[in-house]
Structure 1
């Protein structure tokens, strides 16, 4: 039996269940999402090289203009503090004009790639200091883990694929490259610029193909890591719905408090109608509150007995009327006015009670 219990406990702890929506939300809040860095890199590079392909000629002309202006205008200036400051200021502004658009495109590409994978997410949980991250034993385990092997194979695949693409493009243009000695400097610069952009676009497209595979693997690995055991699912359900034992205790406490409030109203009742062993209904008639009598307390069995005891202790008249007691108990809740169907019967009871009080 002990071995069977241990086996069942192990089975319950084994992570075989898919993550619940709450588990996924908690993991996302901690920054644990399925994301491939290769997707970011591929889209970022693709956006940058496409931008260079479109605006590369303009950027080249701008750089050439800076070079020409420097060696035709600035070279004749005297070396003074103001002139040096002016030269550096103008050069910095021109450099920013060239570099800033590239940086903006790179940032936009990075944001788009992240949004495509995980949507909008901002959390500081991964930046928190955690001693487990610098644990040497866990570091060694990570180095020799299956994930490390996958990352190694993935890096080897990227290097091989990108290298093959670059070599293939260079090999296809080797003849033009060998003839550059017969061309001008500007033609050579233009050729190498175009070749670089072609290589960059082709390499980024190759990385995109690899990144799709990596993203699928990251999704699989993420789903595997956030799996839950049967016990985890039960514990989460308890946390959401509340422990049944605690809920029953709260309900019992609420019932006791409601019963105490109800019993405190019995001494002010005009009459308690009973069935003398099962039902007790305490009625009160107050013209300032309602046009008809209303129920201040009701109960069956033990509660009915307590109502009768409180009524007796406070000299509240008790009238036995089994059909009326049962009907009022089923038709009226505490604090509600009695229905019109009971007006005649209750009026007769109250008339009898008032007569007794006058005689007393």
Structure 2
């Protein structure tokens, strides 16, 4: 029972295949705080850069509207034209900043994970409408963490706002007596100051939240030993089947080699440990290895060679070198040309002598 529990316990780090499968399903690390920070930082930056031009454009538009209010036709068609013109001018004034903030929002997601196209989240699941599953999510570790995170954000941001507003309390009291033109510069500077502090605080919150979300996601991807074994069988095949296939291939390869030994020109041996059968015909670039083996296989090659009158030459260093450097059906390496040529030359002279 203990061994079975250990097999099913998800204590192993996920494999790359498991991570790739999660990505394909749209199961990725995502921190909403990181996305929020990018939007907030982008909006603050856009205010710093474009506030003047946006304010100037909108001021000109609405100043012209107010100064020419008596000339604006009050009928339906005239109001429609006016609203359309105002809409175009307002959009023209804020289009670039809004577009850049949207790009920041997209960047906040892309920086966390690569672009994913998945329909997995659109598939109907009973767990999404199950009251029991809903209660479980409501009181889960993630839900408690989100609640604590929300409280921490309120406390931190409230504290910062209070610290910033308290020194300015006397100036804030006098703002109601000032002209709107005098209030705007103070409000603009103070708003940017507050946003700057908020961006800094949110950066720490976003970093902590991303670390938490990544840890939760990684823990969810962990695998049990049984899952790892099953995945290995799916990707690499059953080890028993692979071993059986390997044995079948080795048997076929050995039979093919044995069938090629009778046609060999010479077998070079290290008396009992190594045997390499070579075939050479006039016009070939170099001798080709048609069979090789060690120990019992080497003795079998020698037995077949002697049964078919194939010369067997004992040359221990050359046999070991050829066995280590040449594969079956391959030409011998150039560094062994001379030594093998001497052996084949000796065999040819021996055969000519036997004929005479």
> Is 1:184 aligned with 2:188?
no
- Please state if 1:226 is matched with 2:217: no
Structure 1 residues 32 and 285: alpha-carbon distance in aligned structure 2, compared to 1, 3 A threshold: closer
Label 1:90 to 1:355 Cα distance change in 2 as closer, same or farther (>3 A). Answer: same
Q: Distance in 2 between matches of 1:14 and 1:20?
A: 15
Shift of 1:7: 0.1
| Alignment-derived partner of residue 142 in structure 1 | 137
Residue-by-residue CA offset, 1:259-294 (whole Å, 9 max, x unaligned): 344345345446778999998765544212257x65
Write the distance in 2 (CA, Å) between the matches of 1:279 and 1:213.
65
Deviation at 1:237, TM superposition (A): 5.9
Question: Is 1:248 the counterpart of 2:259 in the alignment?
Answer: no
Cα 1:70/1:311, change in 2 over 3 Å: farther
Deviations 1:302-331 (A, max 9, x none): 68648866996xxx4355x5736x777545
Give the deviation of 1:76 after TM superposition: 1.3
Contact kept? 1:274, 1:281, Cα under 8 Å: yes
* d(CA) in 1 for partners of 2:216, 2:179: 54
Q: 2:314 aligns with which of 323, 329, 332?
A: 323
Residue 258 (structure 1) shift = 2.8
Give me the whole-angstrom Cα distance separating, in 2, the residues matched to 1:282 and 1:215: 65
Structure-2 change in CA distance of 1:306 and 1:84 (3 Å): same
Aligned to 2:122: 129
1:223 is displaced (CA, Å) by: 3.4
What whole-Å deviation, never above 9, does each CA across 1:173-201 have from its counterpart, x for those lacking one? 44444434432243345555555444444
TM-score when scaled to structure 1? 0.72
Equivalent-residue separation in structure 1 for 2:200 and 2:227 (angstroms): 42
Deviations 1:215-256 (A, max 9, x none): 332233233323333444555566666654344334323323
Tell me by how many angstroms 1:35 deviates: 3.7
Unaligned runs of 5+ in 2: none
SS of the equivalent of 2:283 reads: coil
Instruction: Answer yes or no: is the 8 Å Cα contact 1:43–1:208 preserved in 2.
Output: no
For 1:286, what is the secondary structure of its paired residue?
Answer: coil
Deviation at 1:347, TM superposition (A): 4.7
1:90 aligns with 2:81: no
Quick one: distance in 2 between partners of 1:295 and 1:209? 68
Measured in 1, the distance between the counterparts of 2:109 and 2:206 equals 13
Whole-angstrom distance in 2 between the partners of 1:273 and 1:52: 85
1:79-130 C-alpha deviation (Å, 9 max, x unpaired): 68986675445323321122213313322433454455x3x61112376423
Residue 211 (structure 1) aligned to one of 182, 196, 206: 206
Structure 2: how far apart are the matches of 1:223 and 1:253? Answer: 42
What is the Cα deviation at residue 134 of structure 1?
A: 2.1
Structure 1: stretches of 5+ with no match in the other structure: 1-5
Aligned-partner SS, 2:11: strand
Taking structure 2 as the reference length, the TM-score comes to 0.73
Listed one character per residue, the Cα deviations across residues 321-357 of structure 1 (whole Å, up to 9, x for unaligned) are: 5736x7775454545468544656655544565677x
Paired position in structure 2 for 1:151? 146
Cα separation, 2, equivalents of 1:83 and 1:250: 85
2:5 equivalent among 4, 10, 13: 10
Query: 1:311, 1:317 within 8 Å by CA — same for their partners in 2?
Result: yes
Q: Is the 8 A contact 1:279 1:298 kept in 2?
A: yes
Corresponding residue of 2:59: 64
Looking at structure 2, the residues matched to 45 and 162 of structure 1 have their Cα atoms a distance apart, in angstroms, of 14
Distance (Å, rounded) in 2 between the aligned partners of 1:17 and 1:129 = 30
SS in 1 for 2:290: strand
My pick for the range that moved more, 138-147 or 70-79, is 70-79
